[in-house]
Amino acid sequence: MKLGLLVNEGPFNHQASDTAYHFAKAAISKGHQVLRVFFYFDGVNNANKLSEPQSDDRNIVKMWGELASAHNIDLVVCVAAGLRRGLKEEVLADGFRISGLGQMIELGLAADRTIVFGD
């Protein structure tokens, strides 16, 4: 099954990003394909390479990038939501790219299922 994920919450104030990440890993392990993860609203903060979690905490930004690299997943950050939160190309973590809502619409058309994480 081809899956699309929409992450609407940031990495440090809500469980949605972690849940989406672990869902993606589990789906891939069962043979499903994650086509794209679209980060929207506060979810764009998952792409900020300037975030520095404590040494004993997970680095979800890095984890997303590694998962995308290993499984050819397109990680897309909404340009409008990113700009509202000060996220520009120069602060994007490895594996992420900025694009518009058209990428979310395209994902909905290409995926068999689109799953939303966060409000």
Contact at 8 Å (CB) between 23 and 116?
no
Contact at 8 Å (CB) between 42 and 9?
yes
CB atoms within 10 A of CB 23: 15
H or E element in which residue 16 lies:
helix 16-29
Catalytic positions: 78
**What CA–CA distance (Å, rounded) separates 16 from 12?**
10
Output DSSP code: residue 43: G
